[in-house]
Chains A and B, each alone.
Chain A
Amino acid sequence: MQYITLDSETDFDGWRKTARALVLHHVAPDDVTWAVRGGEADLFAPPAPSPILEVNDGTFSVSSKFIDLAKAAILHRDGERFAILYRLLFRLKDNHDLIDVATDPDVAKITAMARAVHRDEHKMHAFVRFREIGREREPHYVAWFEPEHHIVELAGPFFAKRFADMPWSILTPDLCAHWDGHALSFTPGVSKSEAPGEDRLEETWRRYYASIFNPARLKVKAMQTEMPKKYWRNLPEASIIKPLIEDAERMTGAMIANAATDPHKPQKRPEAPMKRKPATDSLETLREEAAHCRACHLYKDATQTVFGEGPKSANIMLVGEQPGDKEDLAGHPFVGPAGQMLDRALAEAGVDRKKVYVTNAVKHFKFVPRGKIRLHQKPATPEIKACRQWYEREVSAIQPDLIVAMGATAAQSVFGKITPIGKTRGRLIDLPDGRKALVTVHPSYLLRLPDPEAKVVEYQRFVADLKIAASLQRRSSRAA
């Protein structure tokens, strides 16, 4: 039988060193008794601990997952923890994967201990309440806390990093932590009588606690699950929990029983602006009107109407299909990846983007949500038809010479009927009102092409189509 005495309740390094030696000497878990110097277990320990085992050259490895669990579990107050940890280590030597077997009794027990320790640490971070002592010039902050496990050293660094600019002490029955503004130190535990009695701010804190609580939503059990009663005796706000609960039903009842009150003053609301029908279809009035469009259901899920943009003097109007994710968020057409592709192609074709008017056939983004992304959906004919009024009114406001339809949806809007791109692409077509139309692909089509070679070829075709528009832009600017 091996009798091992560790230096302290939290002596992980001592446990690790000894346990490693024991495993290498093939000492069975049942043949080891663990105790802590000065601890209660001493009562049952023999007068002299076993001599320290020499570590021979042998070594073995365990996963870091075990080390993390062991470091935490050793802080548990259960006297059996050293023995269970050793038994698990002994078994892990030959079965490395055992640590992942959540159903193994030893693994389950150690995991539960580690979890309890971390929970206690978390609660210490939460429920320590500092009280200010000393004078205004050099305040010192002192707290009293009663941890369930041996967690003071574990939790200390959190407070050092958070309250770096003030000197503080956390007193507990086991161990006290101190921060002087530079370094963390520990001293033996003290009794509660050494802790300060109150703080000048506690009345204000209780005032806040009482005010932020909604008496109509009493859930006492939920509160106690997260803030067990054992912590209450050191929480300044806990003294008013009982009266608050007792008063809650009365208050809620009174609120419900009281008839609703009359408004405290007649509201002088500004008259809602009259919905005036604009006399002229100026772009601004059109844009304003379109922002409230309900002609189809697409407005419901979209962020906003993405209306056309560009100078009123533009003689070229580019029509895309519909706004995408980015356009929907920004409220401007062609600002996403397809817009960048378009800009590049326009520059290459020699078209001045600043002088063209850019819009979409459908002005709301159509999509289906898929988790965190929005999947673009092709607009249906009723939606294209519903939106066509805006296109028509844009045309009459801008009076362009040439309309470039990019993609099938755009072509459908420009010609008022389904128009395949393949047959009409790349040549000027006369529209009934005397304007010219040009059909090409939508830049997002180029983005979607998987084959890099096809991408280059198609991009060049797209630029070639836009060059037709460029020549017209040059002609008309010469004319001007």
Chain B
Amino acid sequence: MDVQRKLAILADAAKYDASCASSGTEKRDSSDGKGMGSTAPGMGICHSYAPDGRCISLLKVLLTNACNYDCLYCVNRASSNVPRARFTIDEVVKLTLDFYRRNYIEGLFLSSGIIRSPDYTMEQVVSVARKLREEHHFRGYIHLKTIPEADDALIAEAGKYADRLSINIEMPQETSLQQFAPEKDVRAIRRTMGRLRLKLDEAEEDRSVKTKAKPQRFAPAGQSTQMIVGADSANDHTILHTSANLYGSYRLRRVYYSAFSPIPDASRALPLVQPPLLREHRLYQADWLMRFYGFAVGEIVDDSAMLPLDIDPKLAWALRHRDRFPLDVNRASREELLRVPGFGTKAVERIIATRRTTTIRLSDLARLHVPKHKALPFIVLSDHRPSPHSLDEARLIERFKPKATQLGFGF
């Protein structure tokens, strides 16, 4: 089988994993003239975008799509009829370097079906990274998928070469994983996440203590995970609770939510429907509220345990807490401002800096990049006060709902 055909199969097999970022690692470049590649600590670079709206920053492939496991939601499960392929280590290395040289990608995201044993599979994955780093002095970004319960030495080596390690929690609740992925063990997944966190903590302590010895390197971009949304019956509250626990327990940089989408050669046990993309989007918004806006899980979802689909979760929260509004933009605290619909973290910083010298007025909102229609019912400015009844209006929510004609239009 030629490399192009393998690439088609093994990229297709990898596309259901949503984690693709190339951000948050250490700063590196190749200006010493040895090798190639660079990374920036801040923003990663998205080199292209696919028509599914997702960025392409890494060469995202599986080493092989053969797999011993039979996870029902996975196109690569043992019982699937999809064609199988396997890259050699050198083929992935060459493809990565060739693509990188042409500035198509930021680096490599390598995962694999589990063949022979977890240790064997992990060793193969690590070999690719080792070769890129040690033989070709590749300084670009590398994300490796960790195989649960692989040997500790292999994990340590993976962390030496990779910028980010990830291991997918797969399902928001333990019972679903038992049902859909009988060979996978959520306890083993969490134990591996726990081991990764201990190693990440150690490396961080090493860096903070200045010693002569070179600090051990371990995945400077941390660890991330993915869970599939919409394949099982878990509600949004369960999903967000699981995320909060994962963030707190294992210091994950990101939890990726992947709307379950129909897969070729699907199993009978799963729904074949359009992926719940809007729900996925709302979960990301809720995730943002937890990480950057100081919301607790319990505040984000109401009694129905589902996020509303028609309005964003922050607006939904504000509508449930109308007694806290309207808020005086020129006086409110940062924490309060962060809860105003339409106010992003950057807008809040701009507001706080601006109001030190001047009073913020209605006409300033556009320059602060705040969407007027969303924020106005909730705020007081020196020349604006929402009418006393507007917050009480039962129909206030109607203002924010998308026009009927816009529904169903490519979210």
Contacts and interface: CB of A to CB of B under 8 A. Distances in A.
B29 A97 contact: no
B259 interface: yes
A264 B102 CA distance: 40
Given A166-B36, A213-B15, A369-B249, A223 B80 contact: no
A217 B259 CA distance: 9
B325 interface: no
Contacts of B98: 201, 204
Given A165-B33, A328-B194, A329-B197, 17 more contacts: A97-B356, A103-B368, A125-B45, A126-B45, A130-B102, A161-B29, A199-B102, A204-B3, A204-B95, A208-B11, A219-B410, A220-B410, A226-B46, A256-B272, A261-B81, A263-B80, A326-B198
B362 to A, nearest CB: 11
Interface in A92-126: 97-98, 100-105, 108, 122, 125-126
A220 B53 contact: yes
B179 interface: no
Given A130-B103, A208-B59, A256-B273, A165 B51 contact: no
Nearest to B37: A162
Interface string B31-67: 1111111100001011111111111100110000000
B198 A264 contact: no
Interface in B230-253: 244-245, 247-251
Interface stretch (B122-130, B212-220, B260-268): B260-268
Interface in A245-282: 245, 248, 252, 255-256, 260-261, 263-265, 267, 269
A129 B248 CA distance: 41
A132 interface: yes
A335 B99 CA distance: 46
A163 B101 contact: yes
Given A102-B367, A301-B245, A369-B247, A165 B34 contact: yes
Interface stretch (A371-379, A381-389, A435-443): A371-379
Given A128-B103, A165-B30, A219 B411 contact: yes
Given A100-B354, A162-B30, A216-B274, A211 B265 contact: no
A274 to B, nearest CB: 16
Contacts of B274: 216, 252, 256
Contacts of A301: 245, 249
Interface in B145-168: none
Contacts of A158: 38
Interface string A198-234: 0101011101111111111111111100110000000
B387 interface: no
Interface stretch (B185-193, B203-211, B371-379): B185-193
Interface of A: 97-98, 100-105, 108, 122, 125-132, 141, 143, 158-166, 181, 199, 201, 203-205, 207-223, 226-227, 235, 237, 241, 244-245, 248, 252, 255-256, 260-261, 263-265, 267, 269, 291, 300-301, 303-304, 326, 328-331, 367, 369-374
B266 A181 contact: no
Nearest to B31: A161
Contact of B30 (A105, A130, A164): A164
B304 interface: no
A101 B354 contact: yes
B29 A203 contact: no
B14 A303 contact: no
A261 B46 contact: no
A371 B33 contact: no
A204 B102 CA distance: 12
Given A214-B261, A219-B51, A219-B411, A100 B15 contact: no
Contacts of B60: 212
Contacts of B78: 267
Given A100-B354, A125-B45, A261-B81, A220 B11 contact: no
B272 A126 contact: no
B103 A129 contact: yes
Contacts of A261: 81, 265-266
Contact of A165 (B35, B250, B259): B35
A248 B59 contact: no
B104 interface: yes
Contacts of A245: 51
B267 A260 contact: yes
B26 interface: no
Q: Which of A128, A130, A260 has the most CB of B within 10 A?
A: A260
A125 B104 CA distance: 10
A11 B14 CA distance: 48
Interface residues of B, number: 93
A208 B7 contact: yes
Give the secondary structure class of B's interface. loop
Given A126-B45, A212-B50, A226-B55, A371 B248 contact: yes
Contacts of A326: 198
B405 interface: no
B360 interface: yes
A300 B34 CA distance: 49
A263 B79 contact: yes
Contact of B48 (A209, A221, A331, A367): A209
B364 interface: yes
Q: Which of B32, B37, B104, B263 has the most CB of A within 10 A?
A: B104
B120 interface: no
Interface in B340-399: 350-351, 353-354, 356-358, 360-361, 364, 367-368
18 contacts: A100-B354, A101-B358, A126-B45, A162-B38, A163-B103, A164-B31, A164-B32, A204-B3, A211-B15, A248-B51, A255-B266, A261-B265, A267-B78, A301-B245, A303-B190, A304-B191, A369-B245, A369-B248
B6 to A, nearest CB: 10
Given A102-B353, A166-B101, A265-B79, A204 B272 contact: no
Given A131-B102, A141-B101, A261-B265, A103 B358 contact: yes
A372 to B, nearest CB: 6
Contact of A105 (B49, B270, B367): B367
A220 B409 CA distance: 10
B400 to A, nearest CB: 20
Contacts of B270: 260
B354 A304 contact: no
A446 to B, nearest CB: 23
Contact of A303 (B35, B95, B194): B194
A221 B191 CA distance: 40
Interface in B1-27: 3-4, 7-9, 11-12, 14-16
Contacts of A373: 248
A100 B103 contact: no
B49 A223 contact: yes
